Structure formats: C-alpha cells, structure tokens
Amino acid sequence: FLTLGIETSCDDTAVAVLEGPRRVLAAGLSSQVEDHAPHGGVVPELASRKHQEAILPLLHQVLDRAGIRNPARELHLVAVTSGPGLMGSLLVGVMTAKALSQAWEVPLVSVNHLEGHLFANVVAHGDLKPPFLCLIVSGGHTEILLVRAFGDYQVLGGTRDDAAGEAYDKVAKLLGLGYPGGPVVDRLAATGNPEAFPLPVPLSGSGVVEFSFSGLKTAVLWVLKRLEKDGLPVPVEDLCASFQRAAVASLLEKTRVAVEQTGVRQVALSGGVGANSALRAGLEEEGARRGWRVYLPPRDLCTDNGVMIAAAGYSSFRRGIRCDVTFAPDPSWELNA
Ligand code: ATP
Ligand code: FE
C-alpha cells in the first residue's frame, strides 16, 4: 500500500512516498530558508510562490526515486497537510493533492500538521503503541498531548504565548544569529556556560502543564541591554547556553508534570525543536532516571517533512477516514479531541 504525502504548511515544500505504515520509499524536501533569511522570518506571500514553483518538480523527483512509473496504478492514497499553517502555503499543497487525487482516481485524506509531527515517532519506532505522551515543540506550537489511541488526542496543556521554536528564533534574532535560529543557538550553546546567566525557568513549580517563553526571551533582552550599558562584549555562547538551559528545563519539568498527571510513562518527542541536542539528551536522562520509555525520532523527521504526513494519512485512512474534494485548508486547525 503506497501513500503519497504532501506538506506545504509553512516554508518547506516536502513530498514523500511511504509503503505501509512506516517504510520510506523516497522523500524530498525543498527548503526556502535562503529566500526568507534576509527578511528575518517567513514571508507568507513569498512562501506560497516558492511552494508553487517547487512542488511539481519535487513530486516528479520523488516519484522517480520511489520507482513509480504509473502513479494512477501504483499509488493507493494521497495525504496532504491542510492545517494549521499559512493559508497561501496550505492552498498550494491542498490544490495539488486534490488535482492529483482526481486525475489518478486515488483517495485523498487531509492531515493535521501536528498529528503529522506526532507520526514521525510512528515511522521511527515500530514498537510505539498508545497510550503515550507526545511533547510537540515546533515553530508555532508547544504542547503535550496524551495519545489515547491514534486519532484520539487530549491536549494536556500548551503555551500561553510564544512557542519554543519561536523563542529560539527570537533569541537568535536578538543575538544577530540569523533565521532560523534554533539550530544555530543549539550549536553555539554546546560550547557555552549554561550557568553564566541565571535566567528564570518559565512557570517553574506551578504544577500545571503550561508553557511560557516570551518572558524568557525578554530576560535575554535585558541581559543584552545591561551588557551594552556597561560597555561589555556579549558572550554569545554563554547566553545561548543559559537560554537553552532554562528553555529545556521548562520542557522537561512540564513533561514530568504530565507523566504524574496521567500515569503514562511512554514519552515521545516531535516538532522542529525535537532536533535540539540538549532537549534530546535531557529527555533521555529523565527517562533513565524515572523509568520512562523515551522515543526520539531522527532529526530529519522532527522538522517538517512529507514522510510524517504520509504516515498520519495512512493511519487515518486505515481508520476509515476519507475526504471528498470539497474540503478547504484550515490555517488554525488545532488538534483537540
Ligand atoms: P508548526 O509545526 O508549529 O506549524 P513549523 O512547521 O514552522 O511550525 P517546525 O518545522 O516543526 O515548525 O520547526 C521549526 C522550528 O524548529 C524553528 O523555530 C527552528 O528554529 C526550530 N529548530 C530546528 N532545529 C532546532 C534545534 N536544533 N534546536 C532548537 N530549535 C530548533
Ligand atoms: Fe511543523
């Protein structure tokens, strides 16, 4: 059973062909990072134009690498992200998927992007079975889900303000490190001293699954202002390490709260910030210390990709979900039971 997955919710055009629930036949990604970097963030109008340019060449490339000559005969399902995300970006993927599904006479399912992120874990770990907790940390979202079954999710809590990835990107911007900032901050933090600046761990001790990253970002800004006032150089590595210590401490603490609340001791990670080395190491350590089973997808399945969308679409299809061609992308489609 072959599923074509299409993802265009933000600034990456991604296509993949998946066999069954987990076997990747081919995957391709066309990144727009260099187009948006000069603007310091994603420019929606530019993103949709770039998706439009990239999607068909990428599709041909991926089908070719998957050895598919006659998609109408060989493919069984088209899965596409239809929210949350940028409307103009989503439209490119959704309209492409609708047209392909009509032309090939292959069924179509629409996939929630966050459910997609979650399914990176299903692709990576054949033994992962619900119930489990999933910490979703991405550019636009930070939440902990209880996965009661595939398709049955309870959001235990999320962020009051910025998402974790957004905080990484904003801190990188303050430090003049460019966009996207997460990977750069991660790399620089590795050689810095995390104790150099005692930044507050957001909502620590509150006992609820809730995040807040905007105050932490502002705390970094204050440190910068003070250094500037005192005429001191900015120890960029130390500041990255100190920010990362506080951000990761918050993510780990709230995961602990979620485990205590639910009694569920299987914990999966997903979303772009799931590629972060300190978070990955921290979760593994916590797991070893507290007897949790921790699931980490490989880094390239944490950030946006077509494989996770194909996997989520396949699962929906197996559960009987079908879409007719009248559905519309929903930029604010949140995952909630
Ligand atoms: P969403 O999934 O919420 O719609 P998105 O798709 O834009 O948002 P992702 O692609 O899942 O987000 O993740 C991108 C985010 O991950 C960016 O904010 C980026 O800075 C961050 N990120 C990527 N790698 C790392 C890393 N190693 N450390 C920290 N953050 C990272
Ligand atoms: Fe994403």
- Whether the CB-CB separation of 196 and 235 falls below 8 Å is answered with yes
ipTM of the prediction: 0.99
Q: What pLDDT is stored for residue 336 in this prediction?
A: 75
Which atom of ligand 1 is nearest the CA belonging to 141? 3
Nearest CA residue ID for atom 2, ligand 1: 138
Characterise 85 by phi-psi region: left (phi > 0), alpha (psi -120 to 50), beta (else): left
pLDDT for residue 52 is more than 80: yes
Q: What pLDDT is stored for residue 212 in this prediction?
A: 98
User: What are the strands, taking DSSP E only, across the chain?
Assistant: 2-7, 12-19, 23-31, 77-83, 108-112, 132-137, 142-149, 152-158, 266-270, 293-295
CA–CA distances in Å: residue 36 to residues 41, 43, 135, 250, 324: 6, 6, 27, 29, 34
Query: Which one of 9, 118, 138, 159 would you pick to mutate in the ligand 1 pocket, going by the greatest count of ligand atoms within 8 A of its CB?
Result: 138
Nearest ligand to the CA atom of 142: 1
- Whether the CB-CB separation of 189 and 237 falls below 8 Å is answered with yes
**Closest among 196, 146, 186 to 164, alpha carbons compared:** 186
> If you average pLDDT over residues 248-264, what whole number do you get?
98
Q: What pLDDT is stored for residue 41 in this prediction?
A: 87
117 CA to centre of ligand 2 in angstroms = 7
- 276 annotated to a ligand binding site: yes
Q: What pLDDT is stored for residue 176 in this prediction?
A: 95
Nearest ligand to the CA atom of 31: 1
* pLDDT confidence band for 335 (50 / 70 / 90): confident
Q: What pLDDT is stored for residue 268 in this prediction?
A: 98
pLDDT for residue 13 is more than 70: yes
Q: Whole-model pTM? A: 0.97
Q: What pLDDT is stored for residue 80 in this prediction?
A: 98
221-251 pLDDT, tens per residue?
999 999 999 999 999 999 999 999 999 999 9
- 309 annotated to a ligand binding site: no
58-88 pLDDT, tens per residue?
999 999 999 999 999 999 999 999 999 999 9
Nearest CA residue ID for atom 23, ligand 1: 272
- 287 annotated to a ligand binding site: no
Tell me the β-bridge partners of 137.
Answer: 142
Pocket of ligand 1 (CB under 6 A): 9-10, 84-85, 113, 117, 138-141, 165, 168-169, 180-183, 186, 271-273, 275-276, 303-304
Which atom of ligand 1 is nearest the CA belonging to 12? 10
266-319 pLDDT, tens per residue?
999 999 999 999 999 999 999 999 999 999 999 999 999 999 999 999 999 999
User: What are the strands, taking DSSP E only, across 52-186?
Assistant: 77-83, 108-112, 132-137, 142-149, 152-158
Q: Determine what percent of the chain is predicted with pLDDT higher than 70.
A: 100
Arithmetic mean of pLDDT over the chain: 97
- Whether the CB-CB separation of 173 and 185 falls below 8 Å is answered with no
Nearest ligand to the CA atom of 32: 1
> If you average pLDDT over residues 10-24, what whole number do you get?
97
pLDDT for residue 337 is more than 60: no
Nearest CA residue ID for atom 16, ligand 1: 272
